[in-house]
Structure 1
């Protein structure tokens, strides 16, 4: 009986951290891996890679917990979120808060294994991560804060490898922010009617009927940044081939969101995982051949 209760509680914590839905972890991990490979010239330290892999899981989990804490009163009003542990009362606010503090502590311990510059950036990232879910109440484009928070693996990767922030790191950072903004706008399109009812902001609402055009423009900017990265790093044709394949996926996403169907918008959002993987394959290929 006791073991069953413990197992149930653990499952609730897993659900709260979205570990049962790892797509968010993958989307955060790809730009971090891009950066680790580029910063190290294609030869990253595998212990450092492991630290970043664990750090990505921890900080994404922490982001999910603080998001649900911020939204625990409005999540019950949205079909897609009404069954989350905090929304349905399966976990208490204090239990979630203790979990968040624990995750931040583990993340802090991991970043202590890196250098001081990495620590400073990580502290800034933790602050932005906490701020993001509350920005949805007063800032018209909260995806900007999400983009910054979830792109900070890029500068931390360069800081850990080079103890500096070279030009290429800023370009990858901006590229990742743009990517996150447009794929989270796709995600926000699925909740648009609910967000309007409960007065929550998003870029999907901000751009109204032009949200698909906004996404398309951001996709073009994203591709432009990817090309710039390839040119600056003198990558071979395999990298640029990966951009071409990724552009086909982005076109596919445009068609998916065409009718604003919530399920197809979520499908477009998830499709970005493949985009990140293909670009990473292109980067590895450029260092291998």
Structure 2
């Protein structure tokens, strides 16, 4: 026996509660809140006709991060019995028992209350919109048990930032806001179906419902269609705002990214599908940049 094999294993250093909470809210994976942030900020810019001011910008950036983090806590509590059977999620703090259900729900409540406190500094309309947004966020994880397309419910929740942005700026929610909300729902369907494709085999085995399972062999075609519907609706809704060349260049670049995503997912490999999901925030960032530049050049 070699001397190396006889050496004792290094002691396991217990992790701090703070480090576990950071894992719980996926702090090291910003792609999850960036796909929420870009459409929210796009809605904020459109609602304000340009830069919305530092107060609203801070409210919606911080609020987005806080609510996504709270949503992760609720999701992990709801899915704790399933997560242990999926390789990608087996080490999440709640399913391993490193963080208790009570702790996770307490963290979620604190984060949600902080986000609500930020909304209270805006308008009554935004406060009223925040209630259904929170309820859908809580309800979403449980739809995986009975609804064939739970990603659509996630799309409803993830798109509410657009509606709240208009409510905060204008004190009302015009038709344009609801149309942008509806269009963004298709983007969420696209990228979260890519995400669901990563775990399709595990989800089939444990009995979870996902859009990747429901769509079956039409998954790649459907995802591509979802992207195109999203971009078509946003192009149509924003056309009257005369954002000019920057916005249409951004649309062209977004379409190029759709082609890139198709190339990543067409073989349905786990690596390709996960990469496609992780890189989705660039598509949202591209559209946001086009909107910002469009307003900047108008002023």
Q: Which TM-score tier does this pair reach, normalised by the shorter chain? A: over 0.9
Query: Are residues 1:271 and 2:279 paired?
Result: yes
Question: So what's the TM-score if we normalise by structure 1?
Answer: 0.96
* Root mean square deviation of aligned Cα: 1.2
Indicate conservation of the 8 Å contact 1:240/1:282, yes or no. Answer: yes
Which of 93, 105, 109 is the aligned partner of 2:101?
A: 93
Q: Does residue 46 of structure 2 align to residue 28 of structure 1?
A: no
Structure 1 position 55 matched with structure 2 position 67: no
- More moved, 102-111 vs 188-197: 102-111
Checking the alignment, whether the CA contact within 8 Å between 2:33 and 2:65 is kept in structure 1 is: yes
* Alignment match, 2:51: 43
Aligned to 1:112: 120
* Structure 2 partner of 1:240: 248
Q: Which moved more, 1:164-173 or 1:144-153?
A: 164-173
Deviation at 1:89, TM superposition (A): 1.3
Which one of the candidate residues 220, 227, 231 is aligned to 1:212? Answer: 220
Partners of 2:166 and 2:234 in 1: CA distance: 17
Check conservation: 1:143, 1:202, Cα contact below 8 A. Answer: yes
Structure 2, gaps ≥5 residues long: 1-12
Match among 99, 111, 116 for residue 103 of structure 1: 111
Ranges of 4+ aligned residues in structure 1 off by more than 3 Å: none
The aligned counterpart of 1:79 is: 87
Deviation at 1:254, TM superposition (A): 0.5
Residues 130-279 of structure 1 mapped to structure 2, 5 A cutoff? 130-279=138-287
SS of the residue aligned with 1:21?
A: coil
Tell me the SS of whatever aligns to 2:16.
helix
**Which of 70, 77, 80 is 2:78 aligned to?**
70
* Contact 1:39/1:161 (8 A) holds in 2: yes
> TM-score, length-normalised on structure 2?
0.93
SS at match of 1:204: helix
Q: Deviations over 1:87-109 (max 9, x none)?
A: 11111111111111111211221
CA distance in 2, matches of 1:169, 1:147: 15
